[in-house]
Amino acid sequence: MKFTFKNLGIFDKETTVELGDLTIICGDNNTGKTYASYAIFGFLDIWNKSISFDIPEEKLTKLYSDGSIQLDLNNFIQTIDETLTDLSKDYIKYLPKIFSSHEDFFKTTKFKAFYSSNNNYKDNSFKSSVKTADNEDILLFEKQENSSILHISLLIEDENISPPSLSMTKHFINLSIGKALLGSYFSNPFAISSERTGISIFYKGLDIKKSIFVEQLQNVDLIFEDTFYLGMFEEVTSRYARPIKKGIDFVRDIVDVHSKKKSQLIKEHPEFLKMMQEIIGGEYKIESNQILFVFKKGRRKERIPVYMASSAVKSMLELYFYIISMAKKGDILMIDEPELNLHPANQRKLARLFARLVKVGIKVFITTHSDYLIKELNNLIMLSDDFEYKDEVLKKLKYSIDDNLLPSHIKVYIAENKTLTEAPITKYGIEVNSFDKEIGDINCAFTEITLAKGI
């Protein structure tokens, strides 16, 4: 995935970001890291809601008359660059909603998403449906693995049920073509903002008019898969930037929804639960309709409401429940300052967690100020090579054989001079000069002071 932008917040130069399996943005405060991450998250979160293709009218007519059609996706991939150009222009108009800001703030912004020819959409199968209010399929979309043909069926056997309107059918066909072509290319994003500690404390009071949304949802006749029809939730206004708003929504649903689900990741790799528990020093439980933190105190287990727990426990709440209830291959996990409130030892564990997520097919995107996080990632990069006595080193330093990270899987950018500069990655790891400079300055200052004091 590759994006370019200009006049986005502090970025007044044309800036290019190509995402890796692990993408890291470092830099001083107020250098645009959050602007970049929010803008990319917003695009990944909504691109499929407004994508549009040129669907032949005769195909639509045939669908209504015969009940089924076939579309060759090769015809649409040929114009995908133009499609993404138009989509990017539309997205710029949506940026004020992503950032919850005034429209004039982005009036000169440029943003472009690019398609890579390395993406082979034919490899993936695809199936989705549109259902009636009675949960009956009314439109069915299917694409087989290693095929370019999208099969579309209009499933109306009851003459008392009216078919969807032409405009609605076109909308759902556009969504399906988009997902079939780009669903595995534009990763499904999950964002965790740096405001997460406050969200975990005050989420019950940060109600975003959910009752209004539920009332609207009850009046909808058609639902597309598990998503809300036509982004209807966006009609409910919010004072928060989209990643923060999504975080609030997620935490508010932990008790009733997310605590009752088990993610594909945990089903296939249950060891991730133990890794999360080691980082937070306990686990979260739902009791009496509230989130509790459970930890060992001597031989006993103590239970306290999460709002009474440490800042570290509160800051890890969203990541924990994402891992256990939603995480799946093809996602991109986007975290602002993952080191927030964590002891250096737990920052190192978090680096290992990110490397493990990458290895099972979940991309990770972070902004960070943590030298501990970067240095531990460097250790994992060096462990990606085979070398003599490697087994002895792993055992001595308590690393697993899975604790490694290939340099080719990583992209690192430094936010500086109103743009993002790609940082070099060598066999020894990531070079972040701003971190090294500050550490050097601190050490020099310590030496000067101790010499002056005659210590």
Residue 235, pLDDT score: 46
pLDDT for 210 equals 55
Q: What confidence score (pLDDT) does residue 217 get?
A: 53
Mean pLDDT, 10 residues at a time, the chain of 455 residues: 94 95 94 94 93 92 92 93 94 94 92 89 89 83 93 82 85 92 92 91 61 54 45 55 93 92 96 96 93 91 92 96 96 96 96 97 96 95 92 94 93 94 91 82 90 83
167 within 8 A of 52, measured Cβ to Cβ: no
Nearest one of 263, 415, 279, 421 to 354, comparing CA atoms: 279
Which pLDDT score is estimated for 262? Answer: 96
Residue 3's pLDDT is 97
The enclosing H or E element of 75 equals: helix 74-77
Taking the C-alpha atoms of residue 346 and residue 60, their distance in angstroms, rounded to an integer, is 56
Q: For residue 3, which of 35, 36, 34, 26 has the smallest C-alpha distance? A: 36
Q: How far from 300 is each of 245, 277, 314, CA to CA, in Å?
A: 37, 17, 22
Cα 408 vs. chain centroid, distance in angstroms?
A: 21
Read out DSSP for 318-368? HHHHHHHHT--TTEEEEEE-TTTT--HHHHHHHHHHHHHHHHTT-EEEEEE
Q: With 0-12 CB in 10 A as exposed, 13-18 as middle and 19+ as buried, what is 240? A: middle
Grouping H, G, I as helix, E, B as strand and the rest as coil, residue 298 is: coil
Q: At what angle do helices 166-182 and 33-50 cross, to 10 degrees?
A: 130
- pLDDT of the residue at 109: 96
